[in-house]
Amino acid sequence: MTQQTIIITATIFGMLSVIFGAFGAHALKKKLTLDQLKNFETGVKYQMYHAIVLLILGFNSAQVTSAIYWCFTIGILLFSFSIYGLVLSDAFGKKLRFLGPITPIGGLLLIVGWSLLLLHTFVN
């Protein structure tokens, strides 16, 4: 994984989390229940946290392996984006239940990414 790819991925995820956060806080505030809004915000927070981690790793590319990059990237997509899909589909009356099992898989990939980063730190 190149440094440029990691930084671009991080900035796209970071930018999208700001957009989604603003969308949730303003456009969706009146359409979502308090629980739905809280869940949506969880997706936004985790997306931003991991975008920042990817950005830091991108600037310290010696610390990142492709496995770490892909665990965080796919983890963000599966975790945060499945939450967005679940919340929005529920709010508009057609809950996409198949997304429910995808969220923990994304969370597991985020955990694996952190574990690999820890392991990589001790090995190098």
Q: Distance (Å, rounded) from C-alpha 64 to C-alpha 55?
A: 11
Residues 6+ apart with CB under 8 A from 38: none
pLDDT digits (tens, 9 = 90+) for 48-66: 999 999 999 999 877 788 9
Which structure tokens are listed for 86? Answer: 């679940």
- Picking from 103, 111, 41, the residue whose alpha carbon sits closest to that of residue 72 is 111
pLDDT at 38 over 90: yes
Q: What is the pTM of this model?
A: 0.94
- Picking from 52, 51, 72, the residue whose alpha carbon sits closest to that of residue 115 is 72
Helix axis angle for 66-91 and 34-59, nearest 10°, is: 160
Query: Is residue 84 within 8 Å of residue 64, measured between CB atoms?
Result: no
The residue type at 11: T
pLDDT digits (tens, 9 = 90+) for 68-85: 999 999 999 999 999 999
Q: Distance (Å, rounded) from C-alpha 83 to C-alpha 80?
A: 5
Residue 37, exposed/middle/buried by CB under 10 A (0-12, 13-18, 19+)? middle
pLDDT at 23 over 90: yes
